[in-house]
């Protein structure tokens, strides 16, 4: 008695039935056109390139016999499998089953076509493209053509984040040599989408929901691998047969006009009168939306459009030279039966199996039998697999299961048989997404969210992102949360935000998306406590050794201040933190000009002054050429000291004929000029013009070597003259020192009253 017969005998005492695969999706939903329209809207360059590709395609397809000129095409496929739950981690066998489907569909070998009675059966074309799982990776190393990554993310959407490791997914292999296919839980109702030719190479390829990949373990009615066949059609520049509009044009001459997408399994022939006349629609075309079992052909026109992409200077030409399918890696195989076969974590529709295998096993299958239906569910497993969780079992049902191992010699060895019963289903719980989501109290960098949460939610997360950017920020929350304060937002930035809720049934539901824009940061104005001080008569007293802040509010504003000096004291007056080009002048108590600092731009202004007697010194701050800033303050400080600072060379060591390297040696007018000399009032100083501006310090020393007058100016290209008021200095011989960044010049000055 064989093992299957033994199982029948074991199960005769209780009714069994195989759980039909749940139809999670009744109708096909391909997101390729939506993704294309979004790419076109975000990138005019992609839109323009797509138009050029279509024009070039039209030219190529009009050549006589174009479909017979191309030799066999081999396309290496790399599968990037990103999974969360174990059920999403498809076996190698299931993935290989999808490759088998592609080779049948693109080479006119499907059994559905062979048994078809449609009038369009003879319209089917042999496209002549074969696919293989890549055996050589981009670095030239052997590979199975499958890479896997477990993620904490439950769904990925259609924004291409699964295609980038930096966003939690897996990066594409170079698209000129491989067809990249990502398998994940897409969510949102889509079962797959493709990038049309002309997009970014970093995202080029196809994304398929894990539930609809291959013809082993996938869900009806999309359980025969035709979702990837359909999406490869888009990848090779085919659009939907109804032209994505009612009675639209799919740019192929030998396909009939369709009123719209067809769903399910329409009767054959299916005649529509919606486009002005009775038309028998080609519902079995791979680019329609019917169930997998009811689609089975491409036409010669579609073939020509696809093959045009492999011509020189077209998007898929380079893949003809790929070495991705150069080697077929055959595993070393021997054989032993599975041991310690156990079942655990039984639920109403799933169970977890574990076993031990020998490395010599060449092939394994999990066989689950439901005697009530007299049928077997056979699941191909990977060579090294030692666990599996079948889903979609029927609740409150007894099953028998065992592992069948295939030897290299063809011998089949089976494990012990397990009998288990699935649990009763939990009470039906209705779950809805978060409702009444609102954004309130938003500022330049924060916003408050509030929403109504369903009591059946197990956990939630806030998903938000900047407009026109794919990178999302995820904030996990517990299932009872109904408010949150978003922080550290950018000012004056538009954000999109929604609540993603996970139900107790593991279904993920998203709330409506809300769009809001953060506010601009508030304008902080500087406070000026010294107005009104626009004239010398309105001058405000300030203290030495202190710094005050004030504002030049408009082009007519002048800020006057004064401070008291003590005889024999050196004062440094500094104007800093300038929001605009401001200048500085000082006068004595009689209103006579003493000195000024008039540097360009927002350079600090500095004046040094030695008080020979106690007096009041008046200061005026003003905007050069009417410069002002009513919002931002400037700083004015006065520092006093009883000992004047001397430069590195004392006066006794200074010489009027020092042989120093001067910055002025590049000037065509290489001379200094002081006039009048002797002087009793104003001493005019003219320096050589140079190729650039320099910060220059002008110091006047008396016979004792003390600085009696000092001034800081920017001189060179923009300005090459300055004035010193010496009317308050006693008669006598003085030394004038002019310093810049790399030179020092000394001159004798006579003051005579």
Residues 392 and 451 grouped into a single domain: no
Residues 119 and 246 grouped into a single domain: yes
Q: Is residue 142 part of a domain?
A: yes
pLDDT at 670: 52
Rounded to 10 deg, the angle between the 300-307 and 44-61 helix axes is: 120
Distance of alpha carbon 751 from alpha carbon 753, whole angstroms: 7
**Neighbouring C-beta atoms of residue 739, cutoff 10 Å:** 18
Among 587, 609, 641, residue at a domain's last position: 641
Name the phi and psi angles at 263, rounded to 5: -125, 165
Residues designated as active site = 231
Residues 413 and 454 grouped into a single domain: no
Would the CA dihedral through 91, 329, 101, 205 be positive or negative? Answer: positive
Among 421, 447, 467, residue at a domain's last position: 421
**Enclosing domain of residue 62:** 32-321
Q: Report how many domains make up the chain.
A: 5
Residues 343 and 317 grouped into a single domain: no
Of 711, 442, 719, 515, nearest to 595 by C-alpha is: 711
Pick out the chain residues at pLDDT < 70. Answer: 1-25, 65-71, 326-335, 358-360, 371-376, 408-410, 427-429, 523-524, 642-671, 691, 741-743
Structure tokens at 268: 């054959």
pLDDT at 362: 75
Of 263, 102, 270, nearest to 181 by C-alpha is: 102
Cis peptide before 532 (omega within 30 of 0): yes
Residues 71 and 189 grouped into a single domain: yes
pLDDT at 662: 29
Residues 681 and 612 grouped into a single domain: no
Distance of alpha carbon 350 from alpha carbon 334, whole angstroms: 31
Say if residues 280 and 267 touch (Cβ distance below 8 Å).
Answer: no
Residues 100 and 236 grouped into a single domain: yes
Q: Is 301 helix (H, G, I), strand (E, B) or coil?
A: helix
Residues 194 and 291 grouped into a single domain: yes
CA 105 to mean position of chain CA atoms: 37
Say if residues 255 and 128 touch (Cβ distance below 8 Å).
Answer: no
């Amino acid at each position: 008695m064989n093992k299957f017969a033994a199982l029948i005998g074991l199960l005769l005492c209780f009714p069994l039935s195989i759980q039909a695969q749940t139809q999670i999706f009744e109708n096909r939903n391909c997101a390729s056109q939506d993704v294309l329209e979004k790419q076109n809207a975000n990138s005019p360059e992609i839109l323009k390139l797509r138009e050029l590709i279509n024009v070039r395609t039209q030219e190529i397809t009009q050549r006589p016999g174009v479909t017979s000129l191309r030799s066999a095409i081999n396309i290496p496929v790399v599968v990037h499998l990103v999974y969360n739950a174990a059920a999403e981690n498809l076996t190698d066998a299931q993935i290989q089953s999808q490759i088998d489907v592609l080779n049948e569909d693109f080479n006119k070998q499907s059994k559905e076509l062979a048994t078809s009675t449609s009038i369009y059966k003879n319209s089917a074309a042999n496209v002549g493209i074969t696919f293989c799982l890549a055996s050589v990776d981009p670095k030239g190393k052997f590979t199975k053509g499958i890479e896997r990554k477990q993620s904490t993310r439950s769904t990925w959407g259609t924004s291409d984040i699964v295609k980038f490791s930096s966003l939690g997914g897996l990066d594409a292999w170079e698209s000129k040599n491989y067809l990249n296919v990502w398998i994940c839980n897409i969510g949102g109702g889509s079962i797959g989408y493709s990038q049309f030719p002309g997009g970014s190479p970093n995202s080029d390829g196809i994304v398929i929901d894990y539930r609809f990949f291959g013809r082993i373990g996938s869900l009806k009615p999309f359980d025969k691998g035709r979702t990837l066949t359909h999406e490869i059609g888009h990848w090779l520049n085919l659009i939907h047969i109804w032209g994505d509009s009612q009675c639209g044009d799919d740019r192929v001459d030998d396909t009939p006009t369709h009123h719209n997408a067809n769903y399910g399994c329409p009767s054959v022939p299916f005649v529509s009168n919606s486009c002005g006349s009775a038309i028998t629609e080609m519902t079995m075309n791979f680019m329609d939306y019917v169930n997998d079992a009811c689609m089975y052909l491409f036409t010669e026109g579609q073939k020509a459009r696809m093959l045009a992409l492999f011509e020189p200077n077209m998007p898929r030409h380079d893949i003809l030279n790929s070495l991705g399918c150069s080697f077929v890696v055959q595993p070393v195989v021997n054989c032993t039966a599975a041991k310690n076969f156990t079942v655990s974590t039984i639920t109403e529709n799933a169970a977890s199996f574990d076993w031990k295998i020998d490395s010599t096993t060449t092939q394994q299958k999990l066989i689950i039998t439901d005697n009530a239906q007299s049928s077997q569910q056979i699941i191909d497993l990977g060579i090294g697999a030692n666990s599996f969780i079948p889903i979609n079992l029927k609740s409150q049902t007894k099953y028998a299961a065992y592992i069948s191992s295939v030897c290299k010699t063809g011998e089949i060895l089976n494990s012990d048989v397990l009998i288990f019963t699935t649990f009763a289903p939990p009470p039906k719980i209705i779950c809805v997404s978060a409702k009444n989501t609102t954004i309130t109290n938003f500022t330049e960098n924060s916003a408050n969210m509030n929403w109504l949460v369903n009591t059946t939610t197990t956990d939630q997360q806030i998903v938000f992102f900047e407009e026109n950017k794919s990178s999302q920020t995820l904030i996990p929350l517990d299932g009872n949360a109904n408010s949150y304060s978003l922080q550290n937002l950018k000012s004056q930035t538009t954000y999109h935000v929604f609540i993603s809720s996970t139900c107790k049934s593991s279904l993920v539901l998203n709330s409506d998306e809300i769009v809001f824009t953060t506010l601009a940061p508030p304008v902080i104005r500087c406070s000026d406590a010294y107005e009104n001080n626009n004239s010398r008569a309105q001058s405000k007293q300030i203290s030495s050794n202190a710094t005050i802040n004030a504002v030049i509010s408009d082009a007519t504003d002048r800020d006057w201040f004064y401070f008291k000096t003590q005889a024999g004291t050196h004062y440094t007056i500094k104007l800093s933190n300038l929001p605009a080009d401001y200048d500085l002048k000082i006068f004595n108590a009689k209103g006579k000009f003493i000195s000024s600092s008039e540097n360009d731009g927002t350079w600090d202004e500095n004046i040094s002054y030695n008080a020979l007697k106690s007096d009041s010194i008046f200061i005026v701050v003003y905007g050069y050429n009417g410069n002002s800033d009513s919002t931002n303050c400037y700083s004015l400080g006065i520092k006093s000291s009883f000992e004047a600072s001397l430069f590195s060379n004392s006066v006794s060591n200074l010489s009027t004929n020092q042989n120093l390297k001067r910055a002025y040696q590049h000037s065509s007018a290489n001379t200094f000029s002081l006039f009048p000399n002797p002087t009793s009032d104003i001493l005019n100083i003219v320096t050589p013009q140079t190729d650039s501006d320099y910060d220059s310090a002008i110091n006047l020393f008396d016979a004792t070597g003390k600085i009696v007058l000092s001034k800081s100016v920017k001189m060179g290209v923009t300005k090459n003259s300055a004035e010193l008021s010496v009317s308050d200095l006693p008669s006598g011989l003085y030394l004038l020192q002019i310093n810049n960044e790399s030179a020092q010049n000394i001159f004798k000055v006579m003051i005579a009253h």
